[in-house]
Amino acid sequence: MKKEKWHQLGLLVAIVALVTGMGAFPAQAKSAAKTKTVTFGQLTNKNPKRLAAIRQAARQQILKQKHAKGSKVAAVYKVKLPRHMNKKATLTAKGLRMNLLANSFKVKQITIPYTQLKGKVLNRYLPKANRTKAVKTTKMVALTFDDGPDKTLTPRLLKTLKKYKVHATFFETGQNVSRYPQISRAVLAGGNELGNHSWNHPDFNRIGTAKTVSQITRTNRAIYQATGTLPQYVRPPYGNITAAEGRAVEQPIIRWSVDSRDWAYLNKNKDINEVMKDTRGGDIILMHDIHSQSVAAAPTIIKRLKAKGYKLVTVSQLLNNQALPGLQYFGAHDYRTVGK
């Protein structure tokens, strides 16, 4: 009887071990199933502008992964990244994993978080939390401010935005960012976003592609040095940029649909009237945070727009995170190929 009991006990232990092992195996299989090999053609529906957006996100990830200093920003644009739709990558639980060719960063592989690929990769390849959804822009407008940061006026404007619980997009010049990096950090800390407005405000149409790229890269470096983040967007001074420059830059170009002409008026009331008479849902409003009159006009503009039922958002929110390199955006539903 004792032998029989011991035999039954041993059999029970074996069954428990087997069941436990079987319970673990499906979990491992489930984990393995989270990875899937795809081509960039699948991810982008063979859209080269989407692929350029993935390259843009990859550059940010390389810098982040290496904890790179600002001095390495120029080098990241020399890293060879996928340009052919048949190249492959892997969807993982953490993001899109890509293998890299030999590069100066000595990085063999990166994983771009899905949060950085929203609007760049087709929705079906993204987790539900990172997919774009249709948004109504009939009561949305984006306030944008150029030429800062200014030592005194930009902090004053940030206080106004915080008071009225709205956010804006700031297109900053590299030379000013390098002077006041703490203010650029404050812009982001307030929930706003930063864009590239060249190094020292030249007319890109007059300086040529090579110098334009240098202006933008130098400013990207200044913004990265100040904030640890590459700016997503470029706003060319005077709105001028050629098709060749747009292709070389590989960042979405942001224009505007409402020009406050605050730089010409330098008059608070005229600034307010100009914005209010022209603004409609889906508009991008151009102002400057280097003029005291413009900053003084901001509270009234915000209050009046809100009274009309408008929600003031960042450019990314207005464009539903779907802006792509090679295109220039004038408003929520008005975009064209760069140079046209």
Closest C-alpha to 65, from 94, 90, 33: 94
Peptide bond into 155 cis (omega under 30): no
Write the pLDDT tens digit of every residue in 113-124. Answer: 999 999 999 999
Mean predicted confidence (pLDDT) in 272-294: 98
Clarify whether residues 125 and 221 are in a common domain.
no
Dihedral sign for Cα 145, 149, 151, 156, please: positive
- pLDDT score, position 7: 47
Percentage above 90 pLDDT, the chain? 89
Question: Token pair of 151, please?
Answer: 């030592």
* Angle subtended at Cα 77 by Cα 43 and Cα 328, rounded to the nearest 5 degrees: 60
The three-state DSSP-derived secondary structure of the chain is: CHHHHHHHHHHHHHHHHHHHHHHHHHHHHHHHCCCEEEEHHHHHCCCHHHHHHHHHHHHHHHHHHCCCCHHHHHHHCCCCCCCCCCCEEEECCCEEEEECCCCCCCCCEEEEEHHHCCCCCCHHHCCHHHCCCCCCCCCEEEEEEECCCCCCHHHHHHHHHHHCCCCCEEEECHHHHHHCHHHHHHHHHCCCEEEECCCCCCCHHHHCHHHHHHHHHHHHHHHHHHHCCCCCCECCHHHCCCHHHHHHHCCCEECCCEECCHHHHCCHHHHHHHHHHHCCCCEEEEEECCCHHHHHHHHHHHHHHHHCCCEEECHHHHCCCCCCCCEEEEECCEEEECCC
Clarify whether residues 109 and 213 are in a common domain.
no
- One of 146, 147, 262, 283 is an active-site residue; which one? 146
For residue 94, give its domain range. Answer: 36-130
- pLDDT score, position 5: 45
Instruction: Tell whether the model's pLDDT for residue 326 goes beyond 60.
Output: yes
Model confidence band, residue 74 (pLDDT cutoffs 50, 70, 90): very high
Least trusted range by pLDDT, from 20-24, 225-229, 320-324: 20-24
24: in domain: no
- pLDDT score, position 27: 38
- pLDDT score, position 163: 98
- pLDDT score, position 33: 52
Mean predicted confidence (pLDDT) in 229-251: 97
Strands 88-91 and 36-39, bridge-based pairing = antiparallel
Percentage above 70 pLDDT, the chain? 90
- pLDDT score, position 14: 45
288 is catalytic: yes
6: in domain: no
In the numeric block, the tokens 């993935």 are attached to 54
150 is catalytic: no
Strands 327-331 and 334-337, bridge-based pairing = antiparallel
- pLDDT score, position 30: 44
The partner residues of 90 in beta bridges, in order of sequence, read 37, 97
Residue at which a domain ends, from 77, 101, 130: 130
Question: Token pair of 158, please?
Answer: 């940030």
2: in domain: no
31: in domain: no
Strands 109-113 and 95-99, bridge-based pairing = antiparallel
Clarify whether residues 105 and 160 are in a common domain.
no
234: in domain: yes
* Angle subtended at Cα 257 by Cα 251 and Cα 263, rounded to the nearest 5 degrees: 95
Domain count, the chain: 2
Clarify whether residues 121 and 149 are in a common domain.
no
Clarify whether residues 146 and 122 are in a common domain.
no
Mean predicted confidence (pLDDT) in 161-175: 98
Instruction: Tell whether the model's pLDDT for residue 155 goes beyond 80.
Output: yes
Neighbours of 122 (CB within 10 A): 17
Clarify whether residues 196 and 254 are in a common domain.
yes
Write the pLDDT tens digit of every residue in 14-56. Answer: 444 444 443 433 333 344 457 999 999 999 999 999 999 999 9
Clarify whether residues 124 and 145 are in a common domain.
no
Return all residues near 222 (Cβ < 8 A) that are at least 6 apart.
70, 174, 175, 177, 178, 181, 199
Least trusted range by pLDDT, from 12-21, 73-82, 167-176, 206-215: 12-21
Residue at which a domain ends, from 105, 130, 155: 130
Mean predicted confidence (pLDDT) in 249-267: 97
Clarify whether residues 149 and 213 are in a common domain.
yes
- pLDDT score, position 251: 98
Which CATH number goes with the domain that contains 298? Answer: 3.20.20.370
- One of 167, 197, 288, 291 is an active-site residue; which one? 288
Clarify whether residues 256 and 297 are in a common domain.
yes
Clarify whether residues 150 and 234 are in a common domain.
yes
Which CATH number goes with the domain that contains 80? Answer: 3.90.640
Closest C-alpha to 331, from 144, 158, 150, 65: 144
- pLDDT score, position 179: 98
Clarify whether residues 123 and 147 are in a common domain.
no
Residue at which a domain ends, from 130, 150, 170: 130
10: in domain: no
Clarify whether residues 253 and 310 are in a common domain.
yes
Mean predicted confidence (pLDDT) in 152-180: 98
- pLDDT score, position 81: 98
Write the pLDDT tens digit of every residue in 205-221. Answer: 999 999 999 999 999 99
> In this structure, which amino acid lies at residue 315?
V
